[in-house]
Homo-oligomer: A and B are copies of this chain.
Amino acid sequence: MRGFFKPESIAVVGVSPRETNLGRRILMNLHKYGFSGVIYPVGRSGGSFQGHLIYPSLTHIGRPVDLAVVLTPAVTVPDVLRECGELGIRRVIVESGGFAELGQDGLVLSAKALAIAEEYGIRFMGPNGIGTADVHSGLCVPFAEMAKPRPGGVSIVTQSGGVGMQLMMQFEAEAVGVAKFASIGNKLNVDEVDLLEFLIDDPETSQLVFYLESFSRGEEFCRLVASSDKPVIVHKSNTSRMSSSIAASHTTAMLSDDRVVDAALAQCGALRTRTMRSAVDAAKIFSIPPMKGRRVGVISRSGGNAVIAADVCAERGFALPNFDKHVLDLAARHVRAGVIKLQNPLDLGDVFDMDTYKKVLSDIVRQPQIDGIVFLLTYSSTQDPAAADSLVDHIEQIAAKHEKPIVLVLQTWPHETARMKQRSPFPIFETAEEGVEALYVSYRGETHRKQRRARVPKVSAKPETARRLVEAAIGLPHLGAKAFDVLDAYEIVRVPGQVATSKAEAVRLAERAGYPVVMKIESAFAVHKTELSGVKIGLKNAAEVKAAFDEIKNNLFKAGYRPSEFEGVLVQPMADRGLELIVGASRDRDFGPLVILGWGGIVAEALGPPIIRMAPITKRDAMGMIDQLPARGILNGIRGNPPYDVDALADVLVRTARLIADQEAIAEMDLNPVRLYAKGKGALALDARIIPRKESLSKKS
């Protein structure tokens, strides 16, 4: 990817001297950024612009070119790519629109472009993006005027050029330092994962901001995020059907289940933001020391803002420990006697002596019971700005020295806020709630970094046994009772049960299991047992068992199945009553194997959506899933009953996740229900349905 950011020579294809020509703007941006390499404008028109000769074609340049930027009509792009290939240009940015977002013709063009790229070993970015910028090297090739933030550590990857430009404007306005920018548009060839991989190792990049309308290789994306210590902020839009139509025409983004996206990003430790502002605030907070604990000190000149800050602290589970007495005494000496009660939040009322603030802050940041500070500084235009400047510099120093975050919320006149933001890269927030929220973002990022390395536990299992069973069933509707053997291979506790092919055998199995028993139709073709009236419960004696055997068999035939499709009847003992949940697993197009937890029984849907994670998962992940269940309180045991065995449930989740992750031949599966008992009494899968792939993977690819 380096070639997209540090080229020494660039060809810009599609330049003409015409006023309205967009290629010209690319040259203007390179000029604005002070690009130090060589620029070769290319355009049929010929002529010159900004003193650059405009070459009629790439071939006419006759010198080596590191990067070609193409802004010609879509139909011409394949030829330009081929020309690049012939000339040995291996990095190309295609800013032209009119590809896949236009349906059939576009798809043909895209296919052509990909084939040519493959043929010549070209990596290209786009089409339908605005390309790259590098604030450090002075590269900037978008075709619309680009903001120029100060050089720094934030790198931006965006599908939409418009949103990308807006982020750059915001970062310039907020004085957030930027390293690299890439707008990948339709990401036909280079996608977000290529860039993530590169930027994680890029020394100039300390944190990443993504704006995505779809995921390519989501599973890989999450793996990389989890592998890195750099904060990754993701604004994933296109969450609704309504958006997807425009997104499709815009960057051919597909709509993927937003709950899966949510779960996957949370799990790998990416911070998902839902607004432009929160993305910018996150980038700001990640530029100062992280919040390592939950204990906040709030210092304010306005009682009202202290109240608002404390509200958000409470919402976010932050504590406000008392300050050591000496700092309160110190403050007391400067506060209008008796007007203010001193505590945390510390309301300094209308004290306005910058030195007092410095002293108070230096003292509080040192106190061990404080992990981070929110400082709400209100002042009016009559104030001496120099004093405020030195206060901010002081804050920056002590925050760095004590490695604690100090969130400065500045409440003054807009022009003064703007001035303060520009004079130093130390982040400045504008409202109490945004300041505390930012601190919470920092805290979450930090806790995640700590937990990140929690390894996925070794699960005792016989994967080979399971693989044989599943692969033998490829193409069949489901595994039937063999699903239980797969569960056994992964030591997922389930109700015993055996298949009887005759009435006599059914009775034998029933006596062995002990009455009452349950009987279920066994047939690779009968996936929905209940709908086929293929399930009988509470059978108390041999007579009932025999009758049930016949009835189940006949119901199958009544439903139009052939005798050859009847494989017998599964006989199981009745399980004790308990709480019912459903544990499922499936595969997502973008994010791969998933494990799913939901309530069972008749109120399942009413209670809310199931909880999702990417498989495999750790015990901690499993506990997290359980805690996210709607009405989770039920698990604590109701009306004095003992709590339920959540550890056993977690174990089922961990093993099921491991199973779907190991066994690629499984398309989806569910344990429905899993019956959960009181602490120490475990959990039990009463039924299991495993649906294999339609065809073996080898055939598939």
Contact = CB atoms under 8 A, between A and B. Distances in A.
A340 B99 CA distance: 10
Given A275-B433, A433-B274, A237 B634 contact: no
Contacts of A313: 240, 242
A454 to B, nearest CB: 29
A160 interface: yes
A276 interface: yes
B343 A249 contact: yes
- What number of copies of this chain does the assembly contain? 2
**Most B-side CB within 10 Å, residue of A162, A238, A277:** A162
A638 B602 CA distance: 6
B158 A249 contact: no
Interface stretch (A344-352, A545-553, A554-562, A565-573): A344-352
A114 interface: no
Contact of A340 (B159, B249, B433, B605): B249
Nearest to A301: B162
Nearest to A313: B242
Interface string A162-198: 1111100100110000000000000000000000000
Interface string A604-620: 01111000000000000
A246 B414 contact: no
Contact of A606 (B303, B347, B634): B634
B162 A339 contact: no
A170 to B, nearest CB: 9
Given A314-B241, A345-B246, A98 B307 contact: no
Interface stretch (A220-228, A378-386, A520-528, A648-656): A378-386
A173 B414 contact: yes
Interface in A206-262: 211, 213, 237-243, 245-251, 253
A102 B246 contact: no
A70 B350 CA distance: 17
- Which of the four size classes fits the interface of chain A? 35 or more
Contact of A306 (B246, B304, B605, B606): B246
B304 A341 contact: no
Contacts of A239: 311, 314-315
A159 to B, nearest CB: 7
Interface string A287-329: 0000000000000111111111011011100001000000000
Contact of A338 (B98, B241, B343, B349): B98
A670 interface: no
B314 A144 contact: no
A276 B347 contact: no
Contact of A310 (B169, B246, B607): B246
A60 interface: no
A633 interface: yes
Give 4 closest A-B pairs by Cβ, nearest first: A160-B304, A162-B302, A250-B303, A240-B314
Given A247-B307, A248-B341, A606-B633, 17 more contacts: A101-B339, A144-B380, A145-B380, A145-B381, A158-B304, A162-B302, A237-B304, A237-B307, A238-B307, A245-B343, A246-B306, A249-B341, A250-B306, A277-B434, A603-B638, A606-B632, A606-B634
15 contacts: A74-B338, A98-B338, A102-B341, A144-B380, A145-B382, A160-B304, A162-B300, A169-B413, A172-B414, A237-B304, A238-B307, A242-B320, A246-B303, A250-B303, A607-B607
Interface of A: 22, 74, 97-98, 101-102, 144-145, 147, 158-166, 169, 172-173, 211, 213, 237-243, 245-251, 253, 274-277, 300-308, 310-311, 313-315, 320, 336, 338-341, 343, 345, 347, 349-350, 378, 380-382, 411-414, 418, 431-434, 602-603, 605-608, 630-634, 636, 638-639
